[in-house]
Amino acid sequence: MSPERRARRLLGKAVHAYDLIGDGDRIAVAVSGGKDSLLLLRLLKECLRYAPVEFRLKAVHVDPGFDGETASRVKDFLESEGIDHEVLSTDYGVRAHDPKNRQNPCFACSRWRRGALFRQARRTGCRKIALGHNQDDFIETFLVNVFYSGQVAAMLPRQPFFQGGLEVIRPLALMPSDLVERAARKLGLPVIENPCPSASRSQRTRMRRRLEALYRENPKVRGNLFRAMSNVRPEYLPPPFIQGKSKP
């Protein structure tokens, strides 16, 4: 099966399994210019033609302000696709890398961009926001939380915010990153390299490198990790530890 055909099948499977898109939905698609968001937009655009429900798309690019080229190239792509779109110019990336905030620039930049995206979705009547997180992003987030936050938590394919006023959906949840890359290349998508100076130094990037070594040793590891997140056996997990107290 060709990579683009398999990508279409996995997106459809995720949409159906997690009930991501309903009739009459207006969906804001976050487009960064990377392979995930470009493929997500292209596949959702294709779905407009054959999906059993009617929905509308609006692409939103939040430019973090590292350069002027990225926003321009994303805008050119969105115009060529004939998609209703909005490009928001910000300085979030630059501000996040201020010397006062060098310890955690990714957290600040991500939070500010997410806020801008949420506000734009509400202004344009989009109740759902589609993000391009793929299957590897789910796994990496899960393990980063375990290793660095001491909690068992990950992302959700469908996640409500503001008492259900907005929902984030992740239609690439079942799609491995390497498939995304192959499908994007096969479809000729103009993938833009991430201009963020911290892109190669984040916890997620370090986790990805460790996992890639495991995947090379055993290709089943990726699927097992993804399934483990929804196959929790609480009866085989220890109770919360309370200092000075023993619990049965």
The reply to whether 242 falls in a domain is no
Q: What separation in angstroms does the CA of 17 have from each of 61, 135, 170, 183, 191? A: 28, 14, 12, 22, 28
The reply to whether 237 falls in a domain is no
The reply to whether 248 falls in a domain is no
Report the 10 Å Cβ neighbour count for 101: 13
Q: Which CATH number belongs to the domain containing residue 10 in this structure?
A: 3.40.50.620
The reply to whether 244 falls in a domain is no
The reply to whether 239 falls in a domain is no
Structural domain range at position 57: 3-232
Decide if 171 contacts 11 (C-beta within 8 A): yes
CA dihedral 180, 6, 190, 53 (to 10 degrees): -110
Residues in the chain: 248
The reply to whether 238 falls in a domain is no
| pLDDT (tens place) for every residue of the chain, 248 residues total | 899 999 999 999 999 999 999 999 999 999 999 999 999 999 999 999 999 999 999 999 998 888 878 999 999 999 999 999 999 988 888 787 777 766 677 778 888 899 999 999 999 999 999 999 999 999 999 999 999 889 999 999 999 999 888 999 999 999 999 999 999 999 999 999 888 777 766 778 889 899 999 999 999 999 999 999 999 999 998 888 776 665 55
**164: burial class by Cβ within 10 Å (0-12, 13-18, 19+)?**
exposed
pLDDT tens by residue, 137-151: 999 999 999 998 899
- DSSP helix/strand/coil, 157: coil
The reply to whether 59 falls in a domain is yes
The reply to whether 246 falls in a domain is no
pLDDT tens by residue, 17-63: 999 999 999 999 999 999 999 999 999 999 999 999 999 999 999 98
Number of domains in the chain: 1
β-strand pairing of 166-169 with 158-161: antiparallel
